[in-house]
Structure 1
């Protein structure tokens, strides 16, 4: 697996608050990296920087060897799935995928329509093709957001707390979809507190604390072997409910 993301000495501050501090991180193609940590540890800021949504300087973040300084510099290689879905409410489910394909990729409508149907079938909501997002459950909305991200054929998909607003049943639906993508070899970064979900398919877990990587390793190492008191205290506080 080749190195897809290289982060070197990444620091980020908002006003006088340091959010990320001299952080180094690597992500190889095909990896599923779960990012965990307490609130305020810098998880969302880190993935937003990788996606080009937060400005960084120099060569702190390299994507396929090219510096990431804004969304344009990612060249469509990063797909982002947010906790609040970010769907187009005035477009049907199908149009939420077709419109970007036509606008961004200049795809012909018949080809875009077939691709949209294939992706919606993949996430098990093809039957919602002509409905509007407000008629969907939270889990269905998030699966639509995943399908829309996949439509752009990104090299990496980033999930920022994708199930934080969902009840356990709907969260399970979303994580089943993410698990299927992991089996297909899709490179992913996932910010989440759902420990039992990520331990099933993550290849690596990164624990952030105060803007730094406190400890990282395989799920088995992080949850069963790592002798780090800060990590252990965090794990005692998070929800281990099986979803």
Structure 2
């Protein structure tokens, strides 16, 4: 098996909100969900947090509680199986802040942070977030009441960008699963991978804003098309 791992091409997979939708976690565009009740400017920007930190904390407390009750679906478990059984490297990058990839047994790079994390806006310390966070929670390192969710908001730089860029430069296959193609820099990953010579494939419920940039398309629910794609990769 070790020899196979040296020759199998690297796969880089980007996942977005669509992969978790079937686990009950809504996307930006879902009607009636948490996002439909708030403006993005109010709950997902540094300016919104500065204006009303309690509103932002309440929003992410609700998201944290919702994610804690969710379970991975067949798409999550299929990607975990791919990481475990593929004879090469599988890099999983997610825009999602839930922990469903990890619950399924996968390892993921969380470019937009994670609900389970807390961050001090004053000193940069990080720690495990409690189920409920408040604006006056003291930082365990500097004690200042400047705690916030460790989430990358609109207008902030995503995490691990240098590491992700290096993976995109030397992957053989790039796949995007359940992404809208509207949020940069992630929406530009397909162009980076294609420029480096990778085969690109989109797996989505509908066309995205970047569908035309992909060489291959698979349309349908993630819980169906992702396991099918993984089976093909593991048996070819």
Say whether the fold is shared (TM-score over 0.5).
no
TM-score, normalised on structure 1? 0.32
TM-score, normalised on structure 2? 0.33
Higher strand proportion (structure 1 or 2): 1
